[in-house]
């Protein structure tokens, strides 16, 4: 065994570098109800883009209300944001639409239209969209009890000091975090519970239990944090069926634990006399955001692509649309500001220069004579860059005005927004699509030669 001899087929560099310049008007829309939207609008306007800020409040300043809800802010932060508001209001590049709700969107990078206030006709044109919406945190309490709270409320309590740690006024001695009651794939709750639990156990000797379905240790530094928690004496349980809460003077939770024994042989556990129970919240998407995402064919999961490369902080699955704010996950103020700037920077790269060079080789191409118009590629394309359009003859695409002479309709890949991922190629049942820069024959040839 050695490590030198592997034969490797790499992604080809573009065959003949063919860059096509397309013109993109430096006009963007920022639909928002979150301070991150203000940061993005301010950045984009200061870079010389024409920005339309769309928000549902009476004044721009009202957007800052979320700041108090989400983050604990001091006077310095407040001053910074008031200065930001003043900049946004004064900047001539920003036109503000007060009292305006977004009801949908359509189009492609360079040619987006936003529908506002439920109207179908009058649309707002923009080359790119940067949005930031707040998410409403919902705590699903089993019954009304002051000692059952959500993570967000708990963080606010902690920041106020130890005396006020329980909302009921009792000193905190026994605490339980209950995770995974709703959505199960969110890592932030595991992370927060473990870190806070370790801190409370070490600093104040609080007895901490964490109840979860599965502990997600795949995030950065999580394994270390988990080990520390175990060493500090934080007890971690895994439950299968939903835990039963019992109220009254002393709060208790009953559940079957599978972490100690095996899954087939669970252990009945009852945690009694709890001073505080912290539940994982679920987050509800704002209506405006939903309308926008639906209209743009992004969908909730496409809105916050978590690529392995953290430099694409604000990317959604569509080119020309970026997201920031707590549309993503609960984050700190510093994180929110960095993400917003990164997202704005990303949109600037796409729309700020007036033109954009596209490598026309690095895309997929449809052979319309083979296309069966089954819409598989249309549905699967993560960038929504495939349309069904009329063709005149082989490979000759007819523009809208010439539709009379069209002979048949077939899928067409929009060169501007295609990212060359090849998902459509691998799913096309008619084998009508090929990646121009990386045709199937490359792979077949490599396999034939090397095996």
Partner 1 sequence: MGSEKPKIVAFCCEESGMPAYEHAKSLGLPLPDALKVIALPCGGKAETGYIMKALDEGADAVMIFACYEGNCKYVQGNIRAKKRVDYLKTRLESLGILPEKIAFCPVAPASGARFAEMVQEEVQALDSRENKS
User: For partner 1, which residue of 139, 158, 423, 430 counts as binding (CB under 8 A)?
Assistant: 423
Find all residues with CB under 8 Å of 84, minimum gap 6, and list them: 35, 38, 39, 42
Q: Using CB under 8 A, which of 9, 72, 171, 372 touches partner 1?
A: 9
**Nearer residue to partner 1 within complex by CB, 240 or 306:** 306
Q: 386-408: string of b/e by CB count within 10 Å (b at 16+)? A: beebbbeeeeeebeeeeeeeeee
Residue 375 binding partner 1, by CB under 8 A: no
Q: Which residues pair with 270 in a beta bridge?
A: 254
Residue 265, CA atoms < 13 Å, CB-side half-sphere: 3
Q: What is the DSSP letter of 32?
A: B
Contact call for residue 249 and partner 1 (CB under 8 A): no
The nearest distance, CB 190 to partner 1, in angstroms, is 14
Give the residue with the Cβ less far from partner 1, 11 or 267: 11
Give the span between the Cα atoms of 37 and 62, in whole angstroms: 13
Alpha-helical runs (H) found in 279-332: 287-295, 299-303
H helices within 330-428, ranges in order? 333-351, 376-380, 423-427
**Contact between residue 44 and residue 51 where contact means Cβ atoms under 8 Å apart:** yes
The pairing of strands 111-116 and 123-126 is antiparallel
Query: Is the CB of 269 or the CB of 363 nearer to partner 1?
Result: 363
3-state secondary structure of 160: helix
- Supply the minimum distance, in Å, between the C-beta of residue 419 and partner 1: 7
Q: By CB under 8 A, is residue 310 in contact with partner 1?
A: no
Spatial CA neighbour of 315 closest among 130, 443, 106, 94: 130
- CB of residue 197 to partner 1, shortest distance in Å: 24
Q: Which stretch binds partner 1 (CB under 8 A): 192-200, 203-211, 275-283, 424-432?
A: 424-432
Find the binding residues for partner 1 in span 427-446 (CB under 8 A): 427, 435, 438, 440, 443-444, 446
Rounded CA gap, 79 and 68, in Å?
13
Exactly one of 317, 339, 361, 434 binds partner 1 (CB under 8 A); that residue is 317
- The distance of Cα 123 from the centroid of its chain, to the nearest Å, equals 25
Do the beta carbons of residue 62 and residue 98 sit within 8 Å? no
What does the block give as tokens for 394? 């082989």
- 302 in contact with partner 1 (CB under 8 A): yes
Please report whether residue 308 would count as binding partner 1 according to CB under 8 A: yes
222 binds partner 1 (CB under 8 A): no
Q: Which stretch binds partner 1 (CB under 8 A): 261-269, 297-305, 333-341, 369-377?
A: 297-305
Q: Is residue 301 close enough to count as binding partner 1 by CB under 8 A? A: yes
CB of 218 to partner 1, least distance (A): 7
Please state whether beta strands 244-246 and 355-359 pair in parallel, antiparallel, or not at all (unpaired).
Answer: unpaired
Q: Which of 76, 203, 396, 451 binds partner 1 (CB under 8 A)?
A: 451
* Phi and psi at residue 444, to the nearest 5°: -60, -45
Query: What residues from 154 to 183 belong to the interface with partner 1 (CB under 8 A)?
Result: none
Q: Is 142 in the site for partner 1 (CB under 8 A)?
A: no
Q: What are phi and psi of 219, to 5 degrees?
A: -85, 170
**Alpha-carbon distance values, 445 to 9, 421, 450 (Å):** 10, 20, 9
Residues 37-76: x where in contact with partner 1 by CB under 8 A, - otherwise, as a string = ----------------------------------------
What is the distance between the alpha carbons of residues 392 and 394, in angstroms, rounded to a whole number?
7
| Span near partner 1 by CB under 8 A; candidates 71-79, 143-151, 277-285, 301-309 | 301-309
Helix (H, G, I), strand (E, B) or coil at 183: coil
Nearer to partner 1, 206 or 381 (CB): 381
Applying CB under 8 A, the site for partner 1 has a residue count of 41
Listed ranges 156-164, 169-177, 241-249, 416-424: which one lies at the site for partner 1 (CB under 8 A): 416-424
Which of 15, 306, 388, 406 is the binder for partner 1 (CB under 8 A)? 306
- Indicate the helix (H) or strand (E) that contains 393: none
Q: What does the alpha-carbon distance between residue 259 and residue 277 come to, in Å, rounded to a whole number?
A: 20
CB of 422 to partner 1, least distance (A): 4
Among 61, 382, 392, 439, binds partner 1 (CB under 8 A): 382
Measured from the CB atom, the residue of 161 and 429 that comes closer to partner 1 is 429
Q: How does strand 276-279 pair with strand 282-284?
A: unpaired
Task: State yes or no: residue 311 binds partner 1 (CB under 8 A).
Answer: no
Beta carbon nearer to partner 1, 87 or 297: 297
User: Is residue 7 a contact point for partner 1 (CB under 8 A)?
Assistant: yes
Residues of this chain that bind partner 1 (CB under 8 A): 1-3, 5-11, 185, 218, 299, 301-302, 305-309, 317, 380, 382, 419-423, 425-427, 435, 438, 440, 443-444, 446-448, 450-451
């Amino acid at each position: 065994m050695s490590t030198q001899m592997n034969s490797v087929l790499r992604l080809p560099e573009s065959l003949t570098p063919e860059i096509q310049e397309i013109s993109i008007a430096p006009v963007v829309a920022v639909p928002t109800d979150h301070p991150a939207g203000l940061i993005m609008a301010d950045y984009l306007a200061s870079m010389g883009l024409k920005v339309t800020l769309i928000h549902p409040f009476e004044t721009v300043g009202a957007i800052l209300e979320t700041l108090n809800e989400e983050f604990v802010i001091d006077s310095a932060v407040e001053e910074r944001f008031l200065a930001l508001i003043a900049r946004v209001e004064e900047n001539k590049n920003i036109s503000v639409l007060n009292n305006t709700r977004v009801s949908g969107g359509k189009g492609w990078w360079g040619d987006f239209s936003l529908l506002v206030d439920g109207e179908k006709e009058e649309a707002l044109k923009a080359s790119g969209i940067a949005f930031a919406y707040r998410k409403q945190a919902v705590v699903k309490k089993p019954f009304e009890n002051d000692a059952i709270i959500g993570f967000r409320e708990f963080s606010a309590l902690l920041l106020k000091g130890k005396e006020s740690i329980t909302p009921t006024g009792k000193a905190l001695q026994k605490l339980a975090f209950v995770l995974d009651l709703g959505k199960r794939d969110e890592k932030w709750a595991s992370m927060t519970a473990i870190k806070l639990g370790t801190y409370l156990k070490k600093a104040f000797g609080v007895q901490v239990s964490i109840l979860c379905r599965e502990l997600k240790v795949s995030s950065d530094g999580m394994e270390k944090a988990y080990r520390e928690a175990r060493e500090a004496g934080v007890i971690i349980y895994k439950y299968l069926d939903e835990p039963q809460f019992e109220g009254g003077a002393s709060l208790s939770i009953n559940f079957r634990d599978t972490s100690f024994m095996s899954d087939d042989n669970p252990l009945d556990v009852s945690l009694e006399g709890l001073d505080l129970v912290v539940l994982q919240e679920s987050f509800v998407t704002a209506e405006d955001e939903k309308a926008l995402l639906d209209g743009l064919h992004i969908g909730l999961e496409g809105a916050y692509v978590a690529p392995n490369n953290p430099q694409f902080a604000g990317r959604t699955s569509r080119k020309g649309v970026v997201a920031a704010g707590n549309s993503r996950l609960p984050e700190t103020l510093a994180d929110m500001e960095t993400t917003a700037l990164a997202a704005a920077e990303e949109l600037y790269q796409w729309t700020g220069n007036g033109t954009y060079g596209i490598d026309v080789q690095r895309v997929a191409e449809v052979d319309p004579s083979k296309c069966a118009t089954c819409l598989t590629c249309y549905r699967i394309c993560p960038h929504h860059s495939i349309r069904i359009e009329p063709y005149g003859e082989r490979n000759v695409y007819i523009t809208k005005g010439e539709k009379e002479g069209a002979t048949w309709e077939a899928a067409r890949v929009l060169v501007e927004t295609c990212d060359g991922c090849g998902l459509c190629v691998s799913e096309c049942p008619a084998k009508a699509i090929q990646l121009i820069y990386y045709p199937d024959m490359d792979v077949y040839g490599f396999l034939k030669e090397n095996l």
